[in-house]
Structure 1
Amino acid sequence: MTVTVVGDFDRDGIPDATDLDDDNDGILDSIEGENTDTDGDGIPR
């Protein structure tokens, strides 16, 4: 038997791996991800 746990942070029924807005704030993850802190200094790039 295999059990697979799938994350759904915003509980909208769409797994986070395929959800275009997995926190359901109305801003697509692709846009939010543009300003990630790539060097870990606390300042988004």
Structure 2
Amino acid sequence: MAVTRLKRKDRRNHAVANNKVSAIRILKQRPIIKLVDVEEIKASFAK
């Protein structure tokens, strides 16, 4: 008995999964900002 694959749907499912994985990778690459010293940043602009 032969099985017919829906190739277009298969490609779309793979693309959705790959996009989710790449979005997670991009978010993981961003540095986490902790304890920002606002006064120091303002002083650096004054220079």
TM-score by length of 1: 0.22
Q: Which structure ranks higher in relative contact order (CA pairs < 8 Å, sequence separation ≥ 6)?
A: 1
TM-score by length of 2: 0.22
Which structure would you say has the larger Rg? 2
Structure with greater helix share of residues:
2
